[in-house]
Amino acid sequence: MGAEHLPASEFDIEELEQSLVTSDPADAPPLVQLMAPDGSLREDTKYGHYAAHLDGEALRAMYRDMALVRRFDQEATALQRQGQLLLWPPLLGQEAAQIGSGTALQAQDYVFPTYREHGVALTRGLELSKVLRLFRGVSNGGWDPRESNFHLYTLVLAAQSLHAVGYAMGVQRDGDDAVTVAYFGDGASSEGDVHESMVFAASNQSPVVFFCQNNHWAISVPTEVQSRIPLSNRASGYGFPGVRVDGNDVVAVHAVTRWALERARSGKGPVLIEAFTYRMSAHTTADDPTKYRELAEEEKWRERDPLLRLERYLRSTNTAGQDFFDQIAAEADKLAASTRADVLAMEAPDFEDHFANVYAEPHPLIREELEWHRQYQAGFAEETAGQAEGEAR
C-alpha cells in the first residue's frame, strides 16, 4: 500500500483515544474502513498512519495467508464430513479479521484464541495440521504454546479472556513489553468471564487487547438480541477505548490492531476491538444455519468477501497478476493435500499417555487411577481370551 496511498498525516494520539470513549452509549461508533468492498482505498487521518507500511509485497502476503487458511478450512470441513474429524468450526468469511490482526502482532505478544482462530495460528507460524489433532481426538491440545506464543484452543466459552488478563498482569509485574490478545465472538461477549476480565484489565491497566469477532450469529442467536448497543460501546463502561472496525477489510483490521497493541504496550491499558464481520458458513459442522437465517442475508455478505475485496485491489492496481493468483491456488491445493495426509496418518496415543499429561510431576492419585484402569483393561483381555477358547471347543 505504502505511504503514497495512505499518507501519514498529522494526528493526535490523545485526541484519538478520547474520541473513542463515547459519552452516550446509544451513539454507534464509526466503522473504521480503509479498503472499500470494491477494492478502492480510503483516506483516514486517524488510522492510516498504522497501515502506511503496507506495500505491495505485504498485501500479497496477506492475500496468500487468507487464501491458504480458507483452503485449509475447506479441507478440514471435508475431512469432518468424511468421518475423519469429530467436529470442525469453520472460519469462512472471517479471514481478514484474523490475518489482519495476527500480522500486527510482535513475536513476544501472546495470543489466547477460542476454537476458530485458524488464521491467527497461521500468522504465528503454527503448522496448521497440528490444529486438527484436537478435532481428530488424538490430543488434548496439539502443539506447545511456548513455541509460538499461541495458546491452546479454548472450547469453554470465554474462559480464555480471563487467562489473557491474568497473563497480561504477570507481564506487567515482570516488566516485559509483551501484549496479550484475547479473541472471542459476539456470543461469548455475553458470558460473565468477559465482563470479569474487562474489570480486572481496566483496574490494573493491563496490556491486553480484547478482540471480538462479531460475526453476527452466536450459533442461532443474532447479535442484536444479545446487545442493545454496539459491542464496542461496552468498553466505555469499563473506562477504556472501544473501536469498531470493518472485519472484512484486512488493511483496516491490521491498522487498528497495531494501534491497540502500541497503546497497550506503552502502558495505557486495554482496548476492545469489535471486528464487524460475518460467518458465511455454519457455526460448526454440527450446525445448520438454514434453520435460522435467510439466504438473502448470506448473499449480501458474500459481496463483501474479504478475499474478493483484496483481490480487486491487487488486480486494479496491477499489484498482482493472474500468475500470482494461479500460484497461490496451487500452493493452497498442496497445503490441502498435505493436511489430509497428515490427518490420515495420525494415530491415537496410548491410553496411559493421558495420565502422564495431567500433572508435570508424578502424583499419587493419578498413579492409583492408572493402576485401576490397567486392571480394568486387562479384564477385557481375559474375557476376549475366554470367548476365543470357547469358540475353539
pLDDT value of position 392? 62
Average pLDDT over residues 143-164: 97
DSSP letter at 1 equals -
Measured between alpha carbons, how far is 330 from 346 in angstroms, rounded to an integer? 25
Amino acid symbol at 306:
P
Measured between alpha carbons, how far is 183 from 272 in angstroms, rounded to an integer? 10
> Measuring CA to CA, how many Å separate 327 from each of 156, 270, 286?
39, 40, 33
Average pLDDT over residues 90-115: 98
Average pLDDT over residues 39-62: 94
Coil, helix or strand at residue 55:
coil
What would the pLDDT profile of 243-295 be if each residue is shown by its tens digit?
A: 999 999 999 999 999 999 999 999 999 999 999 999 999 999 999 999 999 99
Coil, helix or strand at residue 310:
helix
Cell, residue 19: 474520541
Task: Please list, in sequence order, all residues whose beta carbon lies within 8 angstroms of the beta carbon of residue 88, skipping any fewer than 6 positions away.
Answer: 76, 77, 79, 80, 135, 284, 285
Torsion 382-384-390-393 (CA) sign: negative
Residue 5 has pLDDT above 50, yes or no: no
Do residues 355 and 90 touch, judged by C-beta distance below 8 A? no
Query: How is 304-368 classified by DSSP, letter by letter?
Result: T-HHHHHHHHHHHTTSS-HHHHHHHHHHHHHHHHHHHHHHHH--PPPTHHHHHTS-SS--HHHHH
In whole numbers, what is the pLDDT of the chain averaged over residues? 91
How does residue 358 score in pLDDT terms, banded at 50, 70 and 90?
Answer: confident
Measured between alpha carbons, how far is 264 from 258 in angstroms, rounded to an integer? 10
Q: What is the pTM of this model?
A: 0.88
Average pLDDT over residues 353-382: 89
Torsion 373-377-382-383 (CA) sign: positive
Task: Please list, in sequence order, all residues whose beta carbon lies within 8 angstroms of the beta carbon of residue 189, skipping any fewer than 6 positions away.
Answer: 158, 212, 226, 227, 231, 234
Measured between alpha carbons, how far is 376 from 381 in angstroms, rounded to an integer? 9
How does residue 388 score in pLDDT terms, banded at 50, 70 and 90?
Answer: low
Query: Which residue(s) pair with 182 in the sheet?
Result: 112, 210
Average pLDDT over residues 114-142: 96
